[in-house]
Amino acid sequence: MRKPRTRATRGAPTLADVAARAGVSPATASRVLHQSTRRVGPQHRERVLRAARELDYRPDLSAQAIARGTAPVLALLVSTIDDPYFSAIAEGVARSAQRHGVIVTVAVTGRDTARELTSLRTIRGQRPRAVVVGGSRTVGSPHGEALLAELRALCAGGGRAVFIGRPAGGLPAVRPANLDGARALGAAVAGLGHRRAVVVTGSGRLETVRERTDGLREGLAAGGGRVVAVERDAFDRGGGYRATRRLLARGGLAAADVLCAGNDFMAVGAMTALRDGGLRPGQDIAVTGFNDIETAADVTPRLTTVHFPLGAIGGRAAELALGGGAVEGEDVLVPGQVRLRDSCPDLRNRRTGAP
């Protein structure tokens, strides 16, 4: 056996330094530290890992990217980080990436398609192993084709790309069943005796907004209800607050018995606006959300919503992006489940006069 040598070089330790200290060849050290599929005996493996710890060795991701074509990095593009919807998805992505020995970098795009494209071009220069694009697609975006071209180029270079949302360009996707979930929510609301809904939601250019609004219309109609107005603003808590304040100012809630928010974050803002306007959410007017973020059952009143396993959605997207199987065109639709809570009371007894 070779006699282990101590490191004689200066500066950051190299792979050769680790191999010298462990008494193995650089090729063996590389297989251990770079997670090669070629097996290394447990004794040699332990010596390499110990030498790496002693030298505080850090792999050069840029060098790995050049050698392999990709770096052990998954890039996640999300609209925002203050919405619990995206933080729950990001947590699922991170858990999956950790199992694959991959680190996660996050780019926040603010639902700005130009910013999304710029972020992706920057990320491609880092040669990530995979990119997961979160957030709703924007209908009619002038940057849509350019974004797809960047993602295809990433795949052609050995990387992978997955959408959380509708699939596009033959790339795989994992997405909540928004249309079905909203349809079920509308039917459940109508089943409780609510007949006139005001929808507070985001831009109609967002595919998620379109699906959820259409689903609510269909579900309410099946139970004898209808949407009497749609008020749009930013797809976040502030947008829910502003849209509801505008409705209150012009009397737009007088004909409604339920306010359906496009997501839970908007619903929280809407409930604050209702209180500021002198109305009691869940008593003077019902309120619903969508997604079932972690705090939905903790607000007062507890929020009626559609539950999706957001962490599992993020994890599934990462698994598609980091796995070894063929995934071209795969579309994983994750069903939701209506959660009826205090914010949406049963009106049927009130209308019939039953005790």
* pLDDT band with cut points at 50, 70 and 90 for residue 2: very low
Mean pLDDT of 311-328: 86
pLDDT recorded at residue 354: 46
Query: Cα–Cα distance between 165 and 135 in angstroms, integer?
Result: 7
**155, 176, 182, 153: which is closest to 164 by C-alpha?**
176
Q: Per-domain residue ranges for the chain? A: 1-42, 68-176+311-334, 178-310+338-352
**293, 287, 302, 298: which is closest to 336 by C-alpha?**
293
* pLDDT band with cut points at 50, 70 and 90 for residue 138: confident
Query: Cα–Cα distance between 263 and 81 in angstroms, integer?
Result: 15
Identify any residues that bridge with 7 across adjacent strands, giving them in sequence order. Answer: none
Q: Which fold has domain 178-310+338-352?
A: Rossmann fold (3.40.50)
pLDDT in tens, 79-98: 988 889 999 999 999 999 99
For residue 346, count other CB atoms closer than 10 A to its CB.
13
The tokens describing 291, both together, are 């997604």
Query: Cα–Cα distance between 52 and 56 in angstroms, integer?
Result: 6
pLDDT score of 351 more than 60:
no
CATH class of domain segment(s) 68-176+311-334: alpha beta
pLDDT score of 7 more than 50:
no
Do the first three CATH levels of 68-176+311-334 and 178-310+338-352 match, i.e. the same topology?
yes
pLDDT in tens, 196-212: 999 999 999 999 999 99
pTM of structure? 0.80
205 by DSSP, 3-state: which? coil
pLDDT in tens, 28-72: 887 877 655 567 888 888 888 888 888 887 765 555 544 455 689
Q: Which of 31-45, 87-101, 118-132, 168-182 has the lowest mean pLDDT?
A: 31-45
Q: Which residue bears the tokens 């089943």?
A: 191
Query: Cα–Cα distance between 341 and 355 in angstroms, integer?
Result: 21
Main-chain dihedrals φ then ψ at residue 3, nearest 5 degrees? -80, 125
Query: Cα–Cα distance between 159 and 154 in angstroms, integer?
Result: 5
Query: Cα–Cα distance between 330 and 174 in angstroms, integer?
Result: 8
Query: Cα–Cα distance between 198 and 231 in angstroms, integer?
Result: 8
